[in-house]
Copies of this chain bind each other. A is one copy, B any other.
Amino acid sequence: MTQNFERPLTILILYSVFCFSLETLPNLSADTRLFLKYSEIVVVVIFTCEYFIRILLSPKRLRFIFSFYGLVDLIAILPFYLAFAIDLRSFRLIRLLRLIRVLKVARYNSALQRFSKALFLAKEELAIFTGLSLILLYLSAVGIYHFEHVAQPEVFKSIFDSLWWSVATLTTVGYGDIYPITIGGRFFTFIILMIGLGLVAVPTGIVASALSAVRRQSE
């Protein structure tokens, strides 16, 4: 029976997430604000009903309440009721938790487990990769700081600003707000990127071989 309610509830979650986004738009009319407010109340009421129905229908009620999805369901509706009691300033941030509802969409999906199994199989290598990446990020920040601090003291102010450059560069995002201009800094960037892109290639390979292993096991 709960199966039939999954789809409309998923749409309701996506609808409430969309309303949450709309509320952040500047210059909204009073009518729209009112509509969004009532919309929110209706959504929370439905989710509250759903929460209590789930408790009533589950064979082991206490176990459901303290299970992961039970707690997610509770946290998804609690902020609305607490908003009347506690300070309104923190209201918006608490509401973020409502997004955890979206996770429920994939609740019954078995393929997600296969993926998490592959991640578990490769967790040691992924930890090393993450560690090496962090070290490379830090070393490249220190390096670029020494190359560029004199030439651009206002851009590469400290190692923390250089770290921001490292993140934007090694992920190849490259916003263009901070980049080297000296020959040394540019050559250093080249070396760091050659190493960094190689490092990015490794986890791709790790995940690929882990997924093949999981698939072979299940066959």
Taking chain A's interface residues, is the majority helix, strand, or loop, or is none over half, making it mixed?
A: helix
> Which residues of the partner chain B approach A213 to less than 8 Å between Cβ atoms?
215
A205 interface hit (Cβ, 8 Å): yes
Distance between Cα atoms of A158 and B149 in the complex (Å): 24
Copies in the complex: 4
A105 engages B131 (CB within 8 Å): yes
Contact pick for A138, options B17, B125, B209, B211, CB 8 Å: B17
State which residues 91-150 of A face B: CB under 8 Å: 92-93, 96, 99, 102-103, 105-106, 109, 111-112, 114-115, 124-128, 130-131, 133, 135, 138-139, 142-143, 145-146, 149
B179 engages A160 (CB within 8 Å): no
B99 engages A111 (CB within 8 Å): no
A193-B171 contact, Cβ under 8 Å, with A102-B135, A164-B186: yes
A21 interface hit (Cβ, 8 Å): yes
A16 interface hit (Cβ, 8 Å): no
> Which residues of the partner chain B approach A145 to less than 8 Å between Cβ atoms?
24
> Which residues of the partner chain B approach A177 to less than 8 Å between Cβ atoms?
176, 179
B212 engages A209 (CB within 8 Å): yes
Distance between Cα atoms of A142 and B218 in the complex (Å): 38
Q: List 21 A-B contacts (CB under 8 A).
A: A21-B142, A24-B145, A24-B160, A26-B158, A96-B142, A115-B202, A126-B198, A130-B194, A167-B186, A169-B173, A171-B197, A172-B173, A173-B193, A174-B175, A175-B176, A201-B204, A202-B207, A202-B211, A206-B211, A212-B212, A213-B215
| Extra contacts besides A26-B157, A130-B194 (13): CB < 8 Å | A20-B159, A21-B159, A24-B149, A26-B158, A93-B146, A99-B138, A111-B125, A167-B189, A172-B174, A175-B175, A175-B179, A201-B207, A206-B211
